[in-house]
Structure 1
Amino acid sequence: MHPDSRIYVAGHRGLVGSAIVRSLQRAGFTNIITATHKDCDLTEQQAVRDFMAERKPDYIFMAAARVGGILANASRPADFIRDNLAMQTNIIHEAWRSGVTKFLFLGSSCIYPKFAPQPMKEEHLLTGGLEPTNEWYAIAKIAGIKMCQAYRRQHGFDAISLMPTNLYGPGDNFDLESSHVVPALLRKFHEAKLDGAPSVTVWGSGSPRREFLHVDDMADASLHLMQHYTGEDIVNVGVGKDMTIRELAECIRDTVGYSGDITFDTSRPDGTPQKLLDTTRLTALGWTPTRTLRQGLAETYQWYLSTEDRRM
């Protein structure tokens, strides 16, 4: 990519998309294309076709997606599979059709089997059953990966696919009905601290292990791979180490400065027992993350406090 290349970041208002925009700006790229849902409804093929014809991007980062935690996936499975399939189908096809130079598709670590060997290697894809609590989202993302590979094979379209681990950071969704575990716990502990609550309840047993990557690191990895990798094989993006949800909750309690207890609601689902990515391929391509979890949580909490009145 050149400094004046036309670079379209789909989903620029979301957690990942906004971080990619920041990363591109830091790197000196000056022709960044963005569009709101009102400007271009990615679930509508004609709208995407018209947008591509008008804006003529050279490169595309596909960060647009319907995302959410266990509760959101369980309560709106049709929305998750339909919207994600529609968005990625339209944009991949129209990107190829309009002559986009290179396309980057962002998947998710939930594409891997529920009981995949740990850490999960890229070749573990489609070797077993998925975690039922987010299979609708996972199936859509798998379809996106396969579509990128199919367009590369049949049409020579330079599309690459990245599989990030669990992401968090500035711009995250803190709605308790639809958020992922890090923003949900940051908000819970913050509100418990303000209310003087004696304890905070965390869903599940606390024993599942998860890996967490700051979204700005993810964005930097995306930019690095867009510039330095081409190929059909997917690439895991993570930190290469994990922790239990209990350990995460304790770390977030320290970050917020809450002094109460942590209880676990074992009637709630745990999800996949462990999700740790093997990042050997990523490291060989010349990229490693820069932030520790404690640094990232502190940044995210300060962003959360700064976005609106938090009853401080």
Structure 2
Amino acid sequence: MPYPRSGRLEGKIYIAGHRGLVGSALMRCLAAKGYEKILARSSRELDLRSEEATFRFFRRERPDYVFLAAAKVGGIGANSAFPADFLADNLRIQTNVLLAARETGCRKLLFLGSSCIYPRMAPQPIPEEALLTGPLEETNEPYAIAKIAGIVLARSLRRQYGMNCIAVMPTNLYGPEDNFDFETSHVLPALLRRFVEAKERGMPSVTLWGTGTARREFLHVDDLAEACCFLMENYNREDLVNIGTGEDLSIRELAELIRRIVGYAGEIRWDASRPDGTPRKLLDVSRIRALGWRHRISLEEGIRTTLAWYLASRNSAQAGER
């Protein structure tokens, strides 16, 4: 179904997952654009895994626009340890929000997918058309399958009911409000914390997972938020949209960059008995660039500001414990 360009969003805007990495960036972006009718609920106030609670919220508030950024997320370790939780929780969250939004007349919904939905051996850079063309990376298969189900449900609601759903596929994200827990974090914040602590403790070396040869693309979460707001205002097709930088580097190169920024002088060792994950994951961003958007925050600049946020946040937490 053809839709007009949305332009300025007039009405209530609900950000599902507003306290997470992506959701908090969306809050900042929308506030900077002058949007005031923003709905947000913490997971304690609203458990999106509950069908009853989710429908009750939507029937009461009736948001006009929804950014579906709520999800259970984590790195290789967390995905391997809790595969059932990653699959079941994300299926519940997505299905409840999508169906409740449809029932209550939501004008437009943006679904946040993930680049891990693409096949392990997808062509590089990965075009949106690669979805469902091959086996997934085993280490995050449950999470990826949940996200694929969400994309297909959003597309099906558009086709069956005419609901204006769009789906975006961000690359690896980092930035303020990221998760720095060693057990559940993604690679970039884990490396930042590891090098910071190694420097503070005077450790002679740091051992990292894998061989360091896997290649990854990284996007600052504030750039992602800008892209999502841009697409919510201007894009109305069912075709997926990749969001990334179009640039990648090896994990070994990333580690060296973070070590330099942190100022750690010790040795980096690699534990090849640990998994590398997908060999390479670089998104084809030609579609979103053709629409008129591209990222603005360089990786080094983004890492420096994220490091500053992490140190300030950690120091504030430690001061509060005294």
The structural deviation recorded for 1:37 is 1.3
- Choose from 41, 47, 54 the match for 1:41: 47
Partner of 1:92: 98
Deviations 1:156-177 (A, max 9, x none): 0000000000000000000000
Partner of 2:159: 153
- Choose from 157, 178, 187 the match for 1:181: 187
The structural deviation recorded for 1:2 is 4.2
State whether structure 2 residue 130 is matched by structure 1 residue 118.
Answer: no
State whether structure 2 residue 141 is matched by structure 1 residue 141.
Answer: no
Partner of 2:289: 283
Distance in 2 between residues matched to 1:5 and 1:22, nearest whole Å: 18
Q: Which amino acid aligns with 2:307?
A: Y
Partner of 2:242: 236
> Where do 5+ consecutive residues of structure 2 fail to align?
1-6
Q: Which amino acid aligns with 2:234?
A: H
Partner of 1:52: 58
Give the number of equivalent residue pairs: 312
- Choose from 227, 237, 257 the match for 1:221: 227
> Where do 5+ consecutive residues of structure 1 fail to align?
none
> Which residues of 2 match residues 52-71 of structure 1 at below 5 A?
52-71=58-77
What's the RMSD between the two structures over aligned residues?
1.2
% identical aligned pairs: 56
Distance in 2 between residues matched to 1:147 and 1:263, nearest whole Å: 44
TM-score by length of 2: 0.95
Distance in 1 between residues matched to 2:315 and 2:28, nearest whole Å: 24
The structural deviation recorded for 1:40 is 1.2
The structural deviation recorded for 1:308 is 2.4
Q: Which amino acid aligns with 2:120?
A: K
Distance in 1 between residues matched to 2:244 and 2:275, nearest whole Å: 24
Partner of 1:25: 31
State whether structure 2 residue 135 is matched by structure 1 residue 129.
Answer: yes
Deviations 1:190-209 (A, max 9, x none): 00000000111111000000
Partner of 2:4: none
Contact 2:49-2:93 at 8 Å conserved across structures: yes
Contact 1:2-1:29 at 8 Å conserved across structures: no
Distance in 2 between residues matched to 1:176 and 1:28, nearest whole Å: 37
- Choose from 6, 17, 26 the match for 2:12: 6
Contact 1:240-1:277 at 8 Å conserved across structures: yes
The structural deviation recorded for 1:5 is 2.1
State whether structure 2 residue 108 is matched by structure 1 residue 102.
Answer: yes
Contact 2:9-2:233 at 8 Å conserved across structures: no
Partner-residue secondary structure (3-state), 2:315: coil
Distance in 2 between residues matched to 1:159 and 1:309, nearest whole Å: 41
Greater shift in the superposed pair: 188-197 or 48-57: 48-57
Distance in 1 between residues matched to 2:101 and 2:9, nearest whole Å: 20
Partner-residue secondary structure (3-state), 1:271: coil
State whether structure 2 residue 271 is matched by structure 1 residue 265.
Answer: yes
Partner of 1:306: 312
Partner of 2:203: 197
The structural deviation recorded for 1:46 is 1.0
The structural deviation recorded for 1:3 is 6.4
Contact 1:74-1:134 at 8 Å conserved across structures: yes
Partner-residue secondary structure (3-state), 2:110: strand
Deviations 1:76-99 (A, max 9, x none): 001000000000000000101000
The structural deviation recorded for 1:44 is 0.8
